[in-house]
Structure 1
Amino acid sequence: MRWYPRTLAGQVAALALVVVAVVVVAGSVLAAIDARVDGDRAARDEVTAVAVSLADSPSTVEALTSPDPSATLQPVTDRIRRDTGVAFITVLAPDRTRYTHTDPALIGAPYIGSIDAALRGETMTETYTGTLGRSIRTIAPVRGPDGRVIGMVAAGITQRSLTSTWRGELPLIAVTALAALMTAAAGVWWIRRRLLRQTGGLAPDDLRLMYDHHDAVLRAVREGLVVVEDGRPALVNAEAQRLLGIGTDTPADDLPDFLTREDDAVVDELYAEGGRVLLVSRLPVSGRRRSSVVTIRDRTELAAAMGELDSMTRFAEALRSQAHESANRLHTLVALVEMGRPEEAVRLATTELELSQHLIDRMTQAVAEPALVALLLGKSAQAAERGIAFSLTEESQVSDEATQILSPAEMITVVGNLVDNALDACDPDDPWVEVGVVGDHAALDIVVADSGPGMDADLFSRATARGYSTKTGGDEAGRGLGLALVAQVVERHHGTLTAENTYGSVVSVRIRAVPSVVGVTR
């Protein structure tokens, strides 16, 4: 049978009650001891005051020099004894002969106690057992006109009367202790109820087990997890630290906005943050304002793969369309030959070949980076499939040294996303997209224009800074992140990204080479 409470609240309450009980009992005992010590001290002060006052009184000196000191002093000492409550007042001669006593029958008998100090003219207090029992007594010398000790005054209070006095204080001490215990019990009961609500009635072992499991889950889960409390991260697991580069002490200005936003639950929103594509879900904590649990999944590789798959799908569709068109042209050429008009067949075939070859030659001559050429050719085919006029500006020229500013992968990210946005945004009534790329060892300029309406400054700022999208499925996977990814590449290389509406919607990227630091020897 368990003799102690099971729950944490019960154990805390029991421990607190035991501690309070021990403190109250110890305090009560100390209070009783203090009452007795104070009583003894007060008794010493009182008997000393009585003895010294009576010894210094001129009437006492006069009585001691009279023929019958007892007749004068006994009534006086009886009155003083009744008024002060002392047990006895004895006036005695230097040879110990009593002139007064509480029991008149003992007058004339020798005094029992120490008188040596009084004979030397000193006042002395002691605890001694006399005719009335054990008592606290003070003996003071009485000096004659010539300064000699002509007698002594002894005053005392019995221990029995002192004991009854301090014992009379015990009921008050007991009532005070009982009141303190009842108050403490009420407080402990309230604490127990509060702890029961806060701990769910769990035992310490259960709480420890929950903590161990909680810690193991945080370390084992492959998703980033952030617990937000009052708009601040209260808990950040290792995966969230890796993905976001934040901790619980990160300043609020450095936190991603999806952690500090105050809105309803969010399920699988795409964000571009720190060069990564993140899938974010947030669930508010019930009953707690600005508190939520945020889960984060890294979709960077998946988004890249989906982007490549989307590009390959569009490219395959373009090839399929071109194959269809080529078949139509081939049938036309065969028909012209069969009709006996070979010259027209040759002219039609060479015209199409020259146009295609001219585009390839133009891009190859202007752009030295093969990956960028392939991207532009693919986008050209994609535009042709969608009936969009796609062109490369005459001043476009990219040298091999431009890869020192942006890597081929970063060039593809910037140009590919800007062209994709332009293809989607151009005016259906007059669809056209124009690309200009100029780069060398000093700077790289990328300009993509289209016939669309463009974006105002606020919309462009939100698209580049936040880059989130709720479209997470099907062909729309990864959309809404293009400008954000471009902005991250530009920011990483300290470039500029601007948008304006002039001859069309124009988005410009300019990145300058970082000058190398050369040491100078003096």
Structure 2
Amino acid sequence: MRLLGRMSLQTKVLLIQIGIVVLVAGLISTTVISVLANLVEQQAGERALGIGEAVALMPEVRNAFDAPDPSAELQPLAESVRQAAGVSFVVISNRDLIRYTHPNRELIGRSLLDPPPAGGVPEDDAKPLRGEPVVVQEEGSLGRSIRAKVPIYNTTGTLVGAVSVGILVERVQDRLARDLPALAATAAAALLAGIGVSFLLARHIKGQTLGLEPAEIAALFEQREAMLHGIREGVVAVDRAGQITVVNDEARRLLRLPDGVEGWPVAEVIPDSGLPRVLTSGQSEADQSTQLNGRWIVVSRIPVRIRGKLVGAIATFRDRTEFEELALELQGTRSYLNTLRAQAHEFANKLHTIAGLLELGWEDQAVAFITQTTREQQQWIDELPTRIADPELAALLVGKASVASERGISFSVSEHSKLSSAHRASGLRTILGNLIENAFDAVDGQARRDVVVSIEEEPDELHVEVRDSGPGVPEALLSHIFESGFSTKSTDPGSRGFGLALVHKLVETQGGKITVHNDGGALFEVHLPRRVVAPPAPAPPVMVASQ
């Protein structure tokens, strides 16, 4: 067993095949020899029977039974027939089983049953005396032989005796032995051919297994299973016919697949997998983003080829929801930084103005400037919290007002805007911040620079509008405005096109809807489902949050 365990797969297969070939060749040879022996014996019996019937019909034999000395006439005739026919003996006897002829002259005149058997005349000797020819194999005075016993009738039709023609078994075996070398040569050729085929089969199996041993194949399979079910990417593989062959645990989770989908057409189980398209085109599709079950998934599809032949395809699914959310947070943080930078720049300008007025001795003008600035800022601080109860969103709008003031943009929140803290929509601050920044960019360089924000509560949703007085979006580009990386003008990578794509993803993730159309500029409308939350603790003054 240890020796067998150390053998290679090719050697094992070769030895097993050789063993099977030898066994089959041995069984076939034994069967052929047995069948051939039976055939030779049958042919010997039929030959003896034919010779016996010919002798029984010879006139000389039929008339000799009426002669005074039948043996004198029959013995020479029987010997000539024996020699001419090449049989072992031709024995003619009368009804009393007394021999008239025999190769051994000493037995002529003696009974066939010498000594007589205890049970009387044997059936094989009695049948010819009843007119029934018989072929038997039995032991005689010359040895064991295959003999035919035929009744003899005289010219008047009276049964007068029998003739027994025999061929010694020894001679039959000699004939069979003459045929054995040819049979052995055939068996040897078949054996060698079988061994050659076994060797080729063993080599073929080794090639099919890439030279790997069973233990190595099992180890690779276990590693493959561990890898497939351990990675954080979903994997779905199909064969050339588009039927699923592999699905790992992560793919089941991301795609919400039931157990037992292997063997099913992928077009039925995962209609949007794109794998049938890859099987048709033979082209890879890398890192394509799509939304699935409320999550953002990056899909890559790769055709599988073996020796240049397309045999299937594999799709990988990566959950990018967390990365997309982080990107939105980063976009919001960048917006905050821009807001703080604008506020710092704006207040530095105002401080410089106040300082200049005081140095020139224009105290009254300085007081008037401070009063006007405070009134404008306080108007935002006093009005927004009464309509926008979410302190973070209110602070965002106050900050955007500062940015707008610095950039020379007229920014306002419509009078009918209202948002209660008990019905806040998650992510609204990020969505609104990106849309406002987009609107600011749109009105840059325009003669009229107006941006208006509207937030309205409806029974089942929040309705948000951001309207600008910019040039709007060309009609041909409206269907592409939310694609990742799309922009109607060359800007910083963190601005328009990328931000709108993230906003679109976030809105859809929340079960909402965002649209854009032209109405004296671009008008973005967002519909978000309302989510009831517990009222927050009292917020600090908005002024502190905005600064």
Q: Give yes or no for TM over 0.5.
A: yes
The structural deviation recorded for 1:118 is 3.0
**Cα-to-partner distance string for 1:468-516 (whole Å, 9 max, x where unaligned):** xxxxxx96999756545655665xxxx9887767766677777999xxx
Q: Which residue of 149, 153, 178 corresponds with 1:168? A: 178
Query: Helix, strand or coil for the counterpart of 1:90?
Result: strand
Match of 1:518 in 2: none
TM-score w.r.t. length of structure 1: 0.71
Distance 1:503 1:240 in 2: 47
The equivalent of 1:251 in structure 2 is: 265
Give the equivalent residue in structure 2 for 1:277: 296
Question: Structure 1 pair 35/336, CA: closer, same or farther in 2 (3 Å)?
Answer: same
Q: Which has the larger radius of gyration?
A: 2
- Paired AA for residue 66 in structure 1: D
Cα deviation, residue 15, structure 1: 1.9
Structure 1: gaps of 5 or more residues: 468-473, 514-522
Return 336-345 or 91-100, whichever deviates more: 336-345
Query: Among residues 188, 192, 195, which one is paired with 1:185 in the alignment?
Result: 195
Larger mean CA deviation between 105-114 and 185-194 belongs to: 105-114
Give the Cα–Cα distance (whole angstroms) in 2 for the partners of residues 234 and 382 of structure 1: 59
Provide the C-alpha distance between the structure 1 equivalents of 2:346 and 2:325, rounded to a whole number of angstroms: 31
- Aligned partner of 2:247 in structure 1 is 236
Shift of 1:33: 2.3
Deviates further, 499-508 or 9-18: 499-508
For 2:66, the equivalent position in structure 1 comes to 66
Q: Which residue of 1 aligns with 2:533?
A: none
Structure 2 SS opposite 1:160: helix
The one-letter amino acid paired with 2:293 is G
Deviation at 1:399, TM superposition (A): 8.6
Question: Superposition pairs for residues 60-209 of structure 1, below 5 Å?
Answer: 62-63=62-63, 66-67=66-67, 86-102=87-103, 106-111=107-112, 114-142=124-152, 149-209=159-219
User: Using the alignment, how far apart are the partners of 1:175 and 1:371 within structure 2?
Assistant: 103
Letter aligned with residue 16 of structure 2: L
Q: Which residue of 2 aligns with 1:520?
A: none
Separation in 1, partners of 2:333, 2:179: 99
Q: CA RMSD in A?
A: 5.1
Give the C-alpha shift of residue 410 in structure 1.
Answer: 7.7
* Identity level (%): 28
For 2:149 and 2:266, the matched residues in 1 are separated by: 81
After TM superposition, the score normalised by the length of structure 2 is 0.68
User: How many corresponding residue pairs?
Assistant: 488
Partner of 2:319: 298
Q: CA deviation at 1:382?
A: 10
State the partner residue of 1:340.
Answer: 364
Q: Assess, with a 3 A threshold, how the Cα gap between structure 1 residues 52 and 88 changes in structure 2: closer, same or farther.
A: same
Equivalent pair of 1:279/1:297 in contact (CA under 8 Å): yes
Q: Which amino acid counterpart does residue 164 of structure 1 have in structure 2?
A: D
1:453 correspondence with 2:474: yes
Residue in 2 aligned with 1:14? 15
Question: Contact 2:343–2:403 at 8 Å: present in 1 too?
Answer: no
- Structure 2 segments unaligned to the other structure (5+ residues): 114-121, 487-492, 531-547
Judge conservation of contact 1:449–1:505 (CA < 8 Å) in 2.
yes
Residue of structure 2 equivalent to 1:354: 379
Query: Aligned AA for 1:138?
Result: A
Distance change (3 Å), C-alpha of 1:484 and 1:176: farther
> Measured at CA, do residues 348 and 185 of structure 1 come closer, stay the same or move farther in structure 2, by a change above 3 Å?
same
Q: Partner residue of 1:29?
A: 30
Per-residue CA deviations over 1:302-359 (Å, capped at 9, x if unaligned) read 4323322331231232133123323434554676684413456534542454356556
The amino acid across from 1:93 in the alignment is N
Asked if the contact 2:517–2:524 (Cα under 8 Å) also holds between the matched residues in 1, the reply is yes
